[in-house]
Copies of this chain bind each other. A is one copy, B any other.
Amino acid sequence: MTSQDAYTALLDHARQIEALGQVAGLLSWDQEAMMPPNGAEARAEQAGAMSSVLHAKRTDLRIPEWIAAIDANSLDSAGRANLRLMQRNYDRATRTPADLATEIARKTARGHGVWADARARGDVSTFLPTLSEIVELVREQAVCLATDEQSAYDALVDIYEPGATADSIAAIFARLRTGLVDLRGRIAEKAVDVPVLTGTYPAEAQRALANKLAEVFEYDLKAGRIDLVVHPFCSGTRGDVRITTRVDEGDPFNCLYSTVHETGHAIYEQGLDPALAWQPAGGHASMGVHESQSRLCENQIGRSQAFCTYLFPQMQAHFSDFALGSADDLYRAINRVHEGYIRTEADEIHYNLHIMLRFELERALICGDLQVVDLENEWNARFEADFGRAVDHPENGVLQDVHWSAGLFGYFPTYALGNIYAGELFAAMQNALPDLQDDIRDGKLREPVEWLRANIHRPGSLESPSDTIARACGHKPTEAPLLDYLNLKFGALYDL
State the A residues within 8 Å of B (CB): 15-16, 19-20, 22-23, 26-27, 30, 34-43, 45-46, 48-50, 52-53, 220-225, 236-240, 242, 278
Note all chain B residues with C-beta closer than 8 A to A37: 222-223
CB-CB under 8 A for A240 and B49, given A26-B27, A27-B23, A36-B222 = no
Residues of B within 8 A of A224 (CB): 36
Looking at the complex, which one of B50, B225, B237 makes contact with A34 (CB distance below 8 Å)?
B225
CA distance A335 to B299 in the complex (A): 61
A–B pairs, 19, beta carbons within 8 Å = A16-B49, A19-B49, A20-B46, A20-B49, A20-B50, A23-B27, A23-B46, A23-B50, A30-B30, A34-B34, A35-B240, A36-B240, A38-B222, A38-B239, A39-B223, A39-B239, A42-B240, A43-B240, A53-B53
Question: Given A26-B26, A27-B26, A30-B30, does the pair A240, B45 have CB atoms closer than 8 Å?
Answer: no
User: What are the residues of chain B within 8 A of A36 when measuring CB–CB?
Assistant: 221-225, 239-240, 242
- Copies of this chain present in the complex amount to 2
Contact check: which of B20, B39, B50, B53 meets A240 at CB < 8 Å?
B39
CA distance A210 to B87 in the complex (A): 53
B23 engages A49 (CB within 8 Å): yes
Give the CA-CA distance A181 to B334 in the complex, in Å.
74
Which B residues are CB-close (under 8 A) to A237?
42
Q: How far, in whole Å, are A37 and B239 apart by their CA atoms in the complex?
A: 8
B residues near A34, Cβ cutoff 8 Å: 34, 225
Give bound CA distance, A321 to B20, whole Å.
50
Which chain B residues border A43 with CB–CB below 8 Å? 240
Report the nearest B residue to A227, measured CB to CB.
Answer: B34
Q: Indicate if the CB atoms of A42 and B225 lie closer than 8 Å.
A: no
| Apart from A19-B49, A30-B30, A38-B223: 15 A-B pairs, beta carbons within 8 A | A20-B46, A20-B50, A20-B53, A22-B42, A23-B50, A26-B46, A34-B225, A36-B224, A36-B225, A36-B242, A37-B223, A39-B239, A42-B238, A42-B240, A43-B240
Known: A45-B278, A49-B23, A240-B43. A38 touches B220 (CB 8 A): yes
A220 to B43, CA, bound (A): 18
A190 and B225 CA atoms in complex are apart in Å by: 53
Residues of B within 8 A of A225 (CB): 34, 36
Name the distance in Å between A269's Cβ and chain B's nearest Cβ. Answer: 11
Closest 6 CB pairs of A and B: A39-B240, A38-B239, A38-B223, A19-B49, A19-B45, A19-B46
Residue of B nearest to A50 (CB): B23
Residues of B within 8 A of A238 (CB): 38, 42
* Minimum C-beta distance from A52 to chain B (A): 8
The 8 Å CB contact of A38, one of B19, B30, B50, B240, is B240
**How long is the Cα–Cα vector from A422 to B457 in the complex, in angstroms?**
57
Q: Smallest CB-CB separation from A237: which chain B residue?
A: B42
The distance in angstroms between the C-alpha atoms of A42 and B241, with both chains bound, is: 11
Most buried by B among A43, A224, A278: A43
Distance in Å: Cβ of A239 to nearest Cβ of chain B = 4
In the complex formed, the residue of B with least CB distance to A20 is: B49
A37 CA / B225 CA spacing, docked (Å)? 10
Nearest CB in chain B: distance from A86 CB, A: 17
Instruction: Give the complex CA separation of A37 and B222 in angstroms.
Output: 6
Write the nearest CB–CB distance from A152 to chain B, whole angstroms: 32
Report the Cα distance A74→B223, complex, angstroms: 54
Closest to A26 in B: B30
Which residues does chain B contribute within 8 Å of A50, judged by CB atoms? 20, 23
Q: How near does chain B come to A243, taking the closest CB pair, in angstroms?
A: 11
